[in-house]
Amino acid sequence: MSDIAKNFGIDKALKDLDLKQENKGTSVGSDFFANGEMIESFSPVDGASIGKVQATTQEDYEKVIQTAHRGFMEWRTWPAPARGEVVRQFNDELRRLKEPLGKLVSYEMGKSYQEGLGEVQEMIDICDFAVGLSRQLHGLTMHSERPGHRMYEQWHPLGVVGVISAFNFPVAVWSWNTALAWVCGDACIWKGSEKTPLTSVACQKIAARVFEKNDVPAGISSLLTGDHKVGEYMTNDKRIPLVSATGSIRMGKIVAQAVAKRLGKSLLELGGNNAIIVTPDADIKNTVIGAVFGAVGTCGQRCTSTRRLVIHESIYDKVKDAIVAAYKQIKIGNPLDENNHVGPLIDKDSVDNYLNALKRVEEEGGKVLVEGGVLEGKGYESGCYVKPAIAEAENHYDIVQHETFGPVLYLMKYSGDVSNGLDLQNGVVQGLSSAIMTNNLREAERFLSVEGSDCGIANVNIGTSGAEIGGAFGGEKETGGGRESGSDAWKVYMRRQTNTINYTTELPLAQGIKFDL
Catalytic residue ranges: 269, 303
Query: Who contacts 269 (Cβ-Cβ below 8 Å, separation ≥6)?
Result: 173, 244, 245, 246, 303, 473, 474, 475, 479, 480, 482, 484
How far CA 10 is from CA of 93, 107, 346, 481, 500, in Å, comes to 19, 8, 18, 38, 58
Phi, psi of 228 (to 5 degrees): -60, -25
Complete DSSP assignment for 458-478 = EEESS-SS---TTSEE--EET
Long-range Cβ contacts of 86-90 (<8 Å, 24+ apart): 86/182, 86/210, 86/211, 86/214, 86/216, 87/127, 87/130, 87/131, 87/134, 87/179, 87/182, 87/183, 88/127, 88/131, 89/210, 89/213, 89/214, 90/127, 90/179, 90/206, 90/207, 90/210
C-alpha count within 13 angstroms, C-beta hemisphere, residue 37: 7
Query: Who contacts 189 (Cβ-Cβ below 8 Å, separation ≥6)?
Result: 64, 65, 68, 160, 161, 162, 163, 222, 223, 224, 234, 240
Q: How far is CA 380 from the centre of its chain?
A: 28
CA distance 135 to 81: 6
Q: Which amino acid is at 352?
A: D
For 399, which DSSP code?
H
Phi, psi of 27 (to 5 degrees): -140, 140
Residue 427 contacts residue 447 (beta carbons within 8 Å) = no
CA distance 126 to 131: 9
Residue 403: strand, helix, or coil: coil
CA distance 283 to 294: 16
Complete DSSP assignment for 337-389 = STT-SB---SSHHHHHHHHHHHHHHHHTT-EEEE---B--STT-TTS--B--E
CA distance 475 to 461: 19
CA distance 354 to 375: 13
Closest CA to 487 of 502, 500, 499, 470: 470
Instruction: Give the β-pairing of 389-392 and 367-370.
Output: antiparallel
Closest CA to 375 of 404, 334, 332, 439: 332
